[in-house]
Amino acid sequence: MKRKTFTELKTQALNSLHLNYGPLILGWVISLAISFIVSTAFDSVSTSTSMSSTITYQIAQLIITILMSLFNVSFLMMCLKVLKGEKNVATDIFYAFRNTPDRYIGSYIIYLIFTMLPVIPGEILIMHGAGSEFIEAAEQLAYETTDIYSTAATLPLHSATEVMWGFVLIIVGGIVSIYFSLCFAAVNYLLLEDKGLKVVDAFKASRAMMKGNKFRLLLLYISFVGWFILSIFTLGLLTLWITPYMTTTLALFYMDIQGIAPSGKENEDHTFDATV
C-alpha cells in the first residue's frame, strides 16, 4: 500500500488543526506551567550539594518526567480528537491523569528501561576512568570555580583510555537507544486507540507496526528540526505552534501505517500546503 508523503501528512495536519489550535495551545501551556512550578518547588529545597539534596533532585526529576509523560499522552489524545472531528477543551490535557494513568506510567517506565539502559555501561566506565577528583571538579564547574578542561588534561593515561572507551560505548548505546525509541514510538497511540490493550502487548504491536517504517519516522522527526531551530529566535514561543503541528503529523503517520483515514473533516475554506 502506498504511503502518504511527508508533505501530504503535514498538509493534512495543518488543515485539520485550523481553528482548533486554541485548546491545544492552552492545554500545552498549562502542562508546561505545572511542570515549571513542580520543578521550582523542588529546586528551592535542594540548593546544597549534600546527599539528601542530590536524592531530592533525582526524585524531582523522576516526578517531572512522569508528569510530562502523562501530559504528552493527553496532548496526543487531543490531537487525535482533532483528527476525529471532536471538540477539545484545555482541561483535556489532564486526560491521562483521569483515565488509567497506571497504563501510561507503566509504558513510560518500560520505555525508559529500553532507551536508558544501553548508555549506562558507557557512563559507568567514564565515571570510573575519570575518578573522584575529576567528578568533584565537574561538580565545582557548575558553580564556576574550576576549569574542568585543565583537570581533564591531567588524567592518567589508563583513566583517559577508560574515558575514551566510555564515550565509544555511549555512542553505540545511543544508537541502540534511538533504535528502541523508534520501535516503540507508537505505544501511546496504540494504548489510546485501544483502551483494553495491555501495556506489554502495546510494545509488541508497536514493534511490529514500525517494522519497515523506523527510518521513515526518523526522517519525519528530522524534518521538524528546522522549525525548532527557528523557534530559538522567538524565545521558544514558536513551539506553541510547532508542538500541535508535529504531534498531529505523527498521529497521521501512525494512522497511515495502519491504513486508517481520519474521520474528521479538514477545513475546506482554508487549505494549507506544507512543504517543510
pTM to 2 decimals? 0.82
Q: How far is CA 196 from the centre of its chain?
A: 24
3-state class of 260 per DSSP? coil
125 and 169 in contact (C-beta within 8 Å)?
yes
DSSP codes of every residue in 33-58? HHHHHHHHHHHTT--S-SHHHHHHHH
Cα–Cα dist 21/223, whole Å: 21
Closest to 193 in 3D by CA, of 64, 115, 103, 88: 103
- Tell me the C-alpha distance between 196 and 211, whole Å: 23
More confident residue, 1 or 218: 218
- pLDDT digit string, tens, across residues 239-256: 999 999 999 999 999 999
Q: Is the dihedral of CA 160, 161, 164, 166 positive or negative?
A: negative
Nearest to 113 by CA among 171, 180, 160, 61: 180
Is residue 151 within 8 Å of residue 133, measured between CB atoms?
yes
For residue 27, report the phi and psi dihedrals to the nearest 5 degrees.
Answer: -60, -40
Q: Per the structure block, which three cell numbers stand in for 171?
A: 555512542
Quick one: pLDDT at residue 50? Answer: 56
Phi, psi of 258 (to 5 degrees): -85, -5
> Is 80 exceeded by the pLDDT of residue 1?
no
Segments making up each domain of the chain, as ranges: 100-222
pLDDT of residue 61: 81
Residue-wise pLDDT for 133-148, tens only, equals 555 555 555 444 445 5
Q: Report the percent of the chain where pLDDT is more than 70.
A: 79
Q: What pLDDT score does 63 carry?
A: 85
